[in-house]
Structure 1
Amino acid sequence: MKKIDTAKLDRIVGEARRAADERSQGYRERALKLFPWVCGRCAREFTRANVRELTVHHRDHDHHNNPPDGSNWELLCIYCHDNEHQRELEAQNYSEVSEEKRQAATHSPFAGLKSLLEGDGEQD
């Protein structure tokens, strides 16, 4: 029978615990501990079986802004998270269009309405 190297086992277990502690300090793990497992947009509820589909969205879009209270995070399902980022991209693209290309509407459908209403009252 082989002799068990307890020192090696202790080292492996210690490394695994340290790695787990480091992972738990990540913003996703912290957010999952802080907030209920519900999408902030569509209200879909999550369990351990499908929590991988729940993502952490940074409200200010800065992935380095991770306050300990989670005030810059919201949990979103992968679909709502993709939609949120698509909306942000579209907003950026729209703002890049120069003001010269954005022209105000010039047609005024009710321009002559007052004169028609104040007319002599005759109808055609």
Structure 2
Amino acid sequence: MTRSNQSQRDHNLRERALKLLPWICAHCGREFDGKKLSQLTVHHKDHNHDNNPPDGSNWELLCLYCHDNEHQRYLAADMSGETPPSRKQDQPSTFTPFAHLADLLKHKT
């Protein structure tokens, strides 16, 4: 994709997102309007810029600061080999809080 096409795609996504979503940063809660609206960016929740469902369910609006922070956390986790923070929610939990409950109850009697 050429830089010009990518710029046009990003502009179109931003316009769609601004029509669908409230003008509030999804992380810090700051509200935007007027001239400051330019500080609100479209963030892909799954970090896949090709995943653009018509309902905007993969987008969130973030202020410039929160958007930069989100990508820095993602890069840091990726470089360290950890699961990036946005992908942790997609993995099922392996914690079983009552796994040893029967043993604990046996010892109480």
TM tier relative to shorter chain: 0.5 to 0.7
Gaps of 5+ in 2: 1-7, 83-109
Letter in 2 for 1:86: Q
Task: Tell me if 1:44 matches 2:30.
Answer: yes
* Offset of residue 64 of structure 1: 1.2
Q: Select which of 83, 93, 97 maps to 2:69.
A: 83
TM-score (norm 2): 0.64
TM-score (norm 1): 0.56
**What's 1:60 paired with?**
46
Gaps of 5+ in 1: 1-21, 97-124
Aligned pair count?
Answer: 74
Map 1:1-124 to 2 at 5 A: 26-95=12-81
CA RMSD of aligned residues (A): 1.8
Letter in 1 for 2:69: N
* Offset of residue 48 of structure 1: 1.7
